[in-house]
């Protein structure tokens, strides 16, 4: 287990080993299970993610019990077929996968939390894009997940990943940073570029509040994953282009932690402030749970 991103990047740079390899080594060492078992477990997680994407974007898609979310991955799918998209087809394919995953989550389907269920669409979205653009095989995608997890572990231990303690920036923000860092490795970038991508991605979502309508992981969570995915890809591209974050990754994570602590409770997964507190948000809540809720 690595204590900081600086340590992880320095170890990778000095040893010449890929980040994913170092993270697999650390996992094997700390868990005491074999490399094969660790690899197989991650493979199962990847398969779960792929199944959730397929479920959400096939046929009529899925709908949540409340009817608040669902079917929009299908709308994106149809739109891509008929139109020249503004952000490009690969980007909208990624967005579709992200939305599909979180719609399955809201519909009480099976997903892989990355790092949380509310932010479970962000990495599958990035994976979709990497598959399309770089034609990555399964091994590379499993490595992608290890790298994302390794960076996520550092974020979780220094800032936290719960909306109730750190806002959405701790969930979709963390997922986006993890995805950006791992996408850089998948695209052949350097460990330092991975750190830059993570910094850029987290900086862009700093301060994002957790304000679920009626306390449900639906609105705005599903669409925030679309933005988490897009932000990860843009941040990875910027880092690969040589752009740098002026603030080191570990300090961006410190900022994430501090901003989370400064957020009032109404904006940390209580369903009180932000969009949840709007007249329409309140009306939806009353309709779902009754006036006394």
In the complex, the residues that contact other proteins under the rule CB under 8 A are: 1, 3, 23, 26-27, 30-33, 41-42, 44-45, 48, 64, 104-118, 120, 123, 145-146, 148-150, 152-153, 156-158, 160-165, 170, 178, 212, 214-218, 265, 268-272, 288-289, 293
Asked whether the beta carbons of 23 and 194 are under 8 A apart, the reply is no
State the minimum distance, in angstroms, from the CB of residue 126 to other proteins. 13
State the minimum distance, in angstroms, from the CB of residue 220 to other proteins. 14
Residue closer to other proteins, measured from CB, 51 or 192: 51
Which is nearest to 68 in space by CA: 291, 292, 276, 277? 276
Name, in order, each residue with C-beta under 8 angstroms of 158's C-beta and a sequence gap of 6 or more.
Answer: 4, 250, 253, 254, 257
Residue closer to other proteins, measured from CB, 92 or 172: 172
Residue closer to other proteins, measured from CB, 186 or 238: 186
State the minimum distance, in angstroms, from the CB of residue 116 to other proteins. 4
State the minimum distance, in angstroms, from the CB of residue 241 to other proteins. 27
Residue closer to other proteins, measured from CB, 107 or 249: 107
State the minimum distance, in angstroms, from the CB of residue 9 to other proteins. 17
Name, in order, each residue with C-beta under 8 angstroms of 186's C-beta and a sequence gap of 6 or more.
Answer: 130, 134, 136, 140, 141, 143, 144, 147
d(CA 162, CA 132): 31
Question: What is the longest distance spanned by two Cα atoms in the chain?
Answer: 61
| DSSP β-bridge partners for residue 63 | 70
First to last CA, the chain: 44
d(CA 58, CA 55): 6
Residue closer to other proteins, measured from CB, 57 or 269: 269
């Amino acid at each position: 287990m690595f204590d900081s991103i600086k340590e992880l990047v320095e170890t990778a740079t000095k040893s010449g080993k890929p980040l994913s390899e170092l993270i697999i080594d650390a996992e094997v060492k700390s868990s005491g299970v074999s490399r094969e078992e660790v690899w197989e477990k991650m493979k199962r997680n990847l398969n779960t993610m792929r199944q959730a994407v397929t479920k959400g974007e096939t046929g009529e898609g899925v709908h949540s019990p409340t009817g608040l979310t669902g079917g929009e991955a299908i709308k994106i799918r149809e739109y891509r077929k008929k139109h020249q998209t503004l952000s490009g087809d690969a980007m909208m394919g990624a967005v579709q996968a992200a939305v599909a995953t979180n719609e399955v989550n809201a519909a009480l389907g099976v997903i892989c939390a990355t790092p949380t269920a509310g932010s479970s669409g962000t990495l599958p979205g990035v994976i979709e894009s990497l598959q399309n653009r770089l034609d990555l095989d399964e091994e590379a995608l499993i490595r992608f997940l290890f790298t994302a997890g390794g960076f996520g572990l550092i974020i979780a231990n220094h800032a936290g990943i719960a909306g109730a303690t750190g806002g959405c920036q701790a969930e979709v923000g963390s997922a986006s940073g993890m995805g950006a860092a791992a996408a850089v490795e998948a695209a052949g970038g350097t460990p330092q570029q991975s750190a830059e991508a993570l910094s850029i991605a987290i900086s862009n979502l700093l301060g994002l509040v957790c304000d679920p309508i009626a306390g449900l992981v639906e609105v705005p969570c599903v669409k925030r994953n679309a933005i988490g995915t897009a932000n990860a890809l843009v941040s990875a591209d910027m880092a690969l282009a040589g752009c740098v974050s002026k603030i080191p990754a570990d300090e961006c994570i410190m900022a994430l932690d501090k901003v989370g602590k400064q957020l009032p409770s109404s904006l940390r997964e209580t369903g009180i402030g932000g969009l949840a507190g709007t007249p329409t948000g309140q009306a939806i809540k009353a309709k779902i749970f009754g006036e006394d809720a």
